[in-house]
């Protein structure tokens, strides 16, 4: 039987693929070259670095990553070695966009972001950025968009100048991590960028930690409200920066149950097509798509409703407690961070949640954000 090695936090594999593969699952950081010595396929998440050292001497023929980003995959080596690979672009866009709205709900409830705040900038307009921009528009924001590579591909897309991202209430970073080209994103959120933002601006990064320069965060962000889901040097989170954050979460913005199903679906199809090309589409394993019926108080605001699905404020308390109470070593902090990620409770995306408050105004907002009525 074919053998599949996978990250232990990729759900549903045994239910879906046990008739086709012998399956071995490991913690993502513990997938080693030795574990792949008799494996035909490998499925990973972002914590496993797939490179020459890991797979050169293995019989691996297919690598799938259930992530949108591929900076942890040496795709050049895979191409050179003739190893097929697949990723999951856009799989968590809706989940990350929901997370941003949950952050805004918490910030509004805590009077950190005024309800009169109506000007936002979204950096990166690939899969996640447009989903965020749509939700911000629902809440009445004027949205500036920045994505020069997209503007080069699409003459109808309007990308503001980098220097014009200032005098806004909210900045959301949703770009891929790139190190080359005319506008590399690595360390793009630097001292010059942060210094020109007005006091009280909210900065949310739910993209990659490497787009922010750590020294700049330390020296020039005191006048901002930092909301970080991703971290420079992750999983070794800088405690001084974390302490300054109003929202600090352990890289979980894309962790909805539906996103996890969607990510597996992205890699499952090319995996099965490669090893079982004669299998009819109707016979392919099918991933369940869960929904949630949410009971809410009749006086609940839309902020209350979204926070009942995902509460970044509560997640922040857990993360700060866990990392500050860990032994003061990088290894202990990394272990605490990984524990928070791997034990994070699954939540549901707005679009798969049914609820009604009975208040026309609040229900209108919820429907516009993607919730379903009962």
- End-to-end Cα separation, the chain, in angstroms: 46
pLDDT band per the 50, 70, 90 thresholds, residue 187: very high
Tally of CB atoms within 10 A around 142? 12
For residue 284, what pLDDT is reported?
Answer: 83
pLDDT at 286: 85
What is the span of the domain harbouring residue 234?
93-254+311-346
Q: What is the pLDDT of residues 133-150, one digit of tens each?
A: 999 999 999 999 999 999
Q: Report how far residue 151's alpha carbon sits from residue 148's, in angstroms, rounded to the nearest whole number.
A: 5
Q: Answer yes or no: do 222 and 278 share one domain.
A: no
Closest CA to 326 of 315, 337, 316: 337
Same domain assignment for residues 154 and 250 = yes
Q: Tokens for 100? A: 């941003």
Mean pLDDT, all residues of the chain? 95
pLDDT at residue number 312: 98
Residue 84 pairs in a beta bridge with: 62
Distance in angstroms (rounded) separating the CA atoms of residues 218 and 230 = 15
Question: pLDDT tens digit string along 305-344?
Answer: 999 999 999 999 999 999 999 988 999 999 999 999 989 9
| Same-domain check for residues 110 and 186 | yes
Task: Examine the pLDDT at 374 and tell me if it is beyond 80.
Answer: no
pLDDT at 66 over 90: yes
Mean pLDDT of 76-81: 96
Residues 334 and 240 in one domain: yes
pLDDT of 84 > 80? The answer is yes
- Distance in angstroms (rounded) separating the CA atoms of residues 39 and 284: 21
Q: What is the mean pLDDT of residues 283-310?
A: 92
**What average pLDDT does range 104-122 have in this prediction?**
97
CATH of the domain at 220: 3.40.50.720
- Asked whether residue 177 falls in the same domain as residue 244, the answer is yes
Percent of the chain with pLDDT over 70: 100
Instruction: Please count the structural domains in the chain.
Output: 3
Q: Which of 250-254, 277-281, 289-293 has the highest mean pLDDT?
A: 250-254
Residue that is written with structure tokens 């006086």 in the block? 299
pLDDT at 11: 84
Written as six digits, the tokens of 203 are 């900065």
- Give the model confidence (pLDDT) of 263-288 as tens digits: 999 999 999 999 999 998 888 888 87
The size of the chain, in residues, is: 374
Whether residue 141 is found in the same domain as residue 224: yes
Predicted confidence band of residue 172 (pLDDT cuts 50, 70, 90): very high
* Rg, Å, the chain Cα set: 21
pLDDT at 166 over 90: yes
Pair 163, 297 in one domain: no
The predicted structure's pLDDT at residue 68: 85
Same domain, 230 and 330: yes
The pLDDT confidence band at residue 153, using thresholds 50, 70 and 90, is very high
The percentage of the chain sitting over the pLDDT mark of 90, rounded to a whole number, equals 90
Long-range contacts of 190-196 (CB under 8 A, 24+ apart): 190/216, 191/215, 191/216, 191/219, 191/220, 193/162, 193/165, 194/220, 194/221, 194/224, 195/220, 196/163, 196/166
Residue 126 confidence (pLDDT): 95
Helix (H, G, I), strand (E, B) or coil at 362: helix
CA distances (Å), origin 318, targets 146, 179, 249, 312, 328: 33, 33, 9, 10, 17
Same domain flag for 132 and 199: yes
Does 262 lie in the same domain as 163? no
Catalytic residue list = 208, 234, 251
C-alpha span between 316 and 102 (Å, rounded): 13
Same domain as 244, residue 122: yes
* 315 plus 351 within the same structural domain: no
């Amino acid at each position: 039987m074919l053998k599949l090695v996978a990250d232990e936090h990729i759900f549903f594999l045994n239910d879906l693929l046990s008739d086709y593969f012998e399956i071995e699952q490991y913690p993502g950081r513990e997938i080693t070259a030795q574990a792949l010595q008799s494996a035909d396929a490998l499925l990973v998440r972002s914590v496993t670095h797939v490179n020459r050292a890991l797979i050169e001497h293995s019989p691996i023929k297919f690598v799938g990553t259930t992530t949108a980003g591929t900076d942890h995959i040496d795709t050049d080596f895979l191409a050179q070695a003739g190893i097929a690979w697949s990723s999951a672009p856009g799989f968590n866009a809706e989940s990350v966009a929901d997370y941003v709205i949950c952050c805004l709900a918490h910030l509004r409830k805590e009077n950190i972001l005024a309800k009169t705040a109506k000007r936002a900038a979204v950096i990166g307009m690939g899969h996640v950025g447009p989903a965020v921009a749509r939700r911000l528009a629902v809440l009445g924001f004027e949205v500036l968009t920045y994505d020069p590579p997209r503007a080069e591909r699409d003459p109808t897309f309007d990308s503001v100048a980098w220097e014009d991202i200032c005098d806004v209430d909210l900045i959301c970073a949703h770009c891929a991590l790139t190190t080359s080209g005319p506008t590399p994103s690595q360390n793009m959120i630097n001292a010059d960028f942060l210094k020109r933002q007005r006091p009280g601006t909210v900065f949310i990064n739910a993209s990659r930690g490497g787009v922010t320069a750590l020294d700049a965060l330390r020296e020039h962000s005191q006048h901002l409200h930092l909301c970080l889901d991703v971290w420079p040097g992750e999983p070794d989170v800088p405690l001084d920066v974390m302490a300054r954050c109003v929202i600090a979460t352990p890289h979980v913005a894309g962790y909805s149950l539906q996103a996890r199903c969607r990510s597996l679906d992205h890699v499952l199809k090319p995996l099965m097509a490669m090893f079982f090309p004669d299998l009819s589409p109707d016979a392919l394993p099918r991933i369940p798509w869960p929904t949630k019926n949410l009971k809410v108080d009749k006086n609940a605001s839309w902020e209350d409703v979204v926070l009942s699905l995902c509460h970044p404020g509560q997640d922040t308390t857990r993360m700060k407690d866990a990392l500050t109470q860990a032994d003061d070593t990088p290894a202990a902090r990394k272990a605490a961070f990984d524990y928070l990620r791997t034990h994070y409770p699954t939540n549901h995306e707005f679009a798969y949640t049914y609820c009604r408050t009975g208040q026309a105004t609040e229900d209108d907002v919820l429907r516009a954000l993607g919730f379903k009525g009962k």
